[in-house]
Structures are given as C-alpha cells and as structure tokens.
Amino acid sequence: MILSIESSCDDSSIAITEIATKALRFHKKISQDSEHTVYGGVVPELASRLHAVALPRILEEARPCFSDLKAIAVTHEPGLSVTLMEGVMMAKALALTLKLPVIAVNHLLGHVFSLFIEKEAQFPLSILLVSGGHTMILEARSAFDLKLIGRSLDDSFGESFDKVAKMLNLGYPGGPIVESRAKEGDSGKFAFPIPMQKTSEVVFSFSGLKNAVRLEVEKLENPTDQDVNDICAGFQKTATAHLLQKCKKYFKQTHPKRFAIVGGASANLYLRQEIESLCWSFNCELLLAPLAFCSDNAAMIGRAAIPFFENERFTSLHQLEASPKNSLF
Ligand code: KG4
Ligand code: ZN
C-alpha cells in the first residue's frame, strides 16, 4: 500500500491506496474553509499552522495500516510553499522511520488521477483542469507524458468565483456559493462580455470579467438578494461560456476521442452540463471524477503515485523539496 499526503493549499488529507487493486483503504480530509472564510481567501501562514495540527491527527487514524506500506507519496508542487512544506516534512519523517521510498507527486497530475481512483487509468486523454490555482487544457498519454495546450493568462476559473464571492461578501470558497446563488438568479439581467472572443488561440483570461463584475457591484449601492443572485448567474454563465468557446476551438482542431474535466471547479454542475453537451456534439467520451474527489484530496495523490511505484520512480530524501512552481511544463 502507498500512504499519500496532500497539503498544497487549505486541505489536510491522507490516504492509503492498495497498489495491486487501486482500492482506497483509508481516506480522510480536514478542510479549513471556516477558518479562512472571514478573510475571503486562504491565508498561507494560517493554513500552514492548521496543517501542522490536522495532519498528525489524521496520521494517527491511519496507523493500523503502517505495516503494509511500501512507499510514501506526497504533493511537492505546485502550491503554497509554506503549506506544501508541512506535507513534505511529514513524508520525510515517515520515510526515515519506516524505511520506505518517497514518491514526489505533482498536484496537477494528482487532479488528473482523481478520474481513476479505484479504477484503471485511460489514456490518451484530453483534460480541462479548472481549480483555484490553474485553468488549462492538457493532453496526457501516460502519468509521465503530460503536454500543455493552453492556460489562463491571469486568474483561474475557480479563483474568479472566489473573487466574485468576496466582492459580494458571500464567504470562501466562492465556487459552491456562487453556483448555488446563480441557480436562483436571472443570467440575462447583467450581460457581461465573454473574454477573448476575438483571439483564435486556446488561451483563457478571467481578470477582465472579474473587473466587469466589480463595476456592476460598485454601481449597486445596496444590492438585494435578487441582485446578488442575478450577478452570480450572469458571471457563471459568462465564465463558463468562455471555457466552452475555447474548448470548442480545441475540439475543432484536435477532435479528441476522450475528454475530462478535473480540479475543484469541475464540481460545478452547470459547467459539467455544458461540457457534456459539447462532448456529445463531437462524439467524444466524457470522463468526470466523483464530486467528492474534485477538490484537493490525498486519494488522487496516492492513485497518481501507483505508476511511479511500478516504474520505481522514487525521489531521494535530500532531493525532496516543496516548490510553489509547476515543473512539468
Ligand atoms: O482543486 P482545488 O480544491 O484547489 C486548487 O488546486 O486550487 O480547487 C479549489 C477551487 C476554489 O477556487 C473553489 O472556489 C473552486 O475550486 N470551486 C468551484 C466549485 N467548487 C469549488 N468553482 C466553481 N463552482 C463550484 N461548484
Ligand atoms: Zn487542486
């Protein structure tokens, strides 16, 4: 079995995955949403201190499986340095005391493998990754072959939901709150411009849309609940339309046979529905992770570590370091 640790942002999580069957034997996650909500976003130092308390607590629960462990996997990049460090330090300590090899897992690869928890992997695969830190289209041929097709030039899709929620004093994380307020809103009331319609490239941008929302919010002195719902609906429709337009461009160029959406924001049901129609019209199979594994978790890190274990791709302890940057592409 592989014990995996995830602490790249504000979720402390540990999982134990059986190597041969891919079965998830243990999985626990402690989220810090309630601690960060008053700040309208994640405070890195606070997140780090909360990991230092939560991770050892979860580890205690996983202890009965220790004798069956063959490796320790840990998210080492990209993310917040101070929070990644908590997981990396724990991985080093466990590897030393239990005399086990370490597998350093890239967080974005982890999101890709959220599709294959307790399952065989399916490659080649085109992927829309939408999280709080990233918005990108990727092509994957294996766990070791990931190619970047296009990414956001500024904010990410999930981050733009967080920022709109902050402008409207709705709390953190913004994604689920904005999605649920949008259900009650009229998406035609505030017509925001769809970003980057004129560029033919597969690139994303959400900062212009965020500013357009800010201007409308500032115009409303005392927004009613219905105003807030209408803004959320208009924003979600426009942000999703931008993703869809760019994905359609990619589909026309590449005609993928298999497509997936991963990352925290892939839990958005409106986005799922729109991508489902796109895939249907291009006769493309759509893969989705279970809602419970869209946001950050250690189960996806453990699942991504299996091909590394099978290929003996271990990281030596003195080379294992937390890094805020993505080194894959
Ligand atoms: O993957 P994730 O847990 O963390 C990162 O790797 O960044 O993604 C978190 C992001 C947050 O920005 C959150 O607001 C967004 O995913 N998110 C959503 C939804 N649920 C979470 N965005 C839109 N709609 C949702 N339902
Ligand atoms: Zn993530």
User: Is the link from the previous residue into 124 a cis peptide, with omega within 30 of 0?
Assistant: yes
- For the chain, percent of residues with pLDDT exceeding 70: 100
Separation of CA 158 and ligand 1 centre (Å)? 5
**How confident is residue 287, by pLDDT bands cut at 50, 70 and 90?**
very high
319, 76 in Cβ contact below 8 A?
Answer: no
Question: Does position 326 have pLDDT exceeding 90, yes or no?
Answer: yes
322 Ramachandran zone, left/alpha/beta (phi>0; psi -120 to 50): beta
What is the per-residue pLDDT for 40? 85
pLDDT digits (tens, 9 = 90+) for 80-107: 999 999 999 999 999 999 999 999 999 9
Mean pLDDT of 33-46: 93
Separation of CA 262 and ligand 2 centre (Å)? 9
Separation of CA 162 and ligand 1 centre (Å)? 8
**Amino acid letter, 34:** S
Residue to mutate (ligand 1; options 77, 131, 156, 270; most atoms within 8 A of CB) = 131
> Any residues with CB less than 8 A from the CB of 322 and at least 6 apart, and which?
76, 77, 79, 81, 84, 85, 87, 88
Question: Does position 322 have pLDDT exceeding 90, yes or no?
Answer: yes
Mean pLDDT of 287-292: 98
**How confident is residue 45, by pLDDT bands cut at 50, 70 and 90?**
very high
Mean pLDDT of 173-199: 97
Separation of CA 202 and ligand 2 centre (Å)? 22
What is the per-residue pLDDT for 151? 98
What is the per-residue pLDDT for 275? 98
**How confident is residue 59, by pLDDT bands cut at 50, 70 and 90?**
very high
What is the per-residue pLDDT for 66? 96
Q: Which protein residue has the closest C-alpha to ligand 1 atom 11?
A: 132
Mean pLDDT of 233-239: 98
Mean pLDDT of 108-124: 98
Mean pLDDT of 292-309: 98
Question: Does position 221 have pLDDT exceeding 90, yes or no?
Answer: no
Residue to mutate (ligand 1; options 12, 178, 295, 301; most atoms within 8 A of CB) = 295
pLDDT digits (tens, 9 = 90+) for 125-179: 999 999 999 999 999 999 999 999 999 999 999 999 999 999 999 999 999 999 9
> Any residues with CB less than 8 A from the CB of 258 and at least 6 apart, and which?
122, 124, 125, 126, 284, 285, 287
User: Is the link from the previous residue into 64 a cis peptide, with omega within 30 of 0?
Assistant: no
Distances (CA, A) of 93 to 53, 72, 86, 317: 16, 10, 11, 10
Question: Does position 47 have pLDDT exceeding 90, yes or no?
Answer: yes
- Atom of ligand 1 lying closest to residue 156 CA: 12
Residues near ligand 1 (Cβ within 6 A):
9, 131-133, 158-159, 161-162, 173-176, 179, 263-265, 267-268, 295-296
Mean pLDDT estimate for the chain: 97
User: Torsion over CA of 138, 144, 145 and 149, rounded to 10 degrees?
Assistant: 20
**How confident is residue 252, by pLDDT bands cut at 50, 70 and 90?**
very high
Note the helical H segments in 197-288: 207-219, 225-254, 269-281
- Atom of ligand 1 lying closest to residue 159 CA: 12
40, 177 in Cβ contact below 8 A?
Answer: no
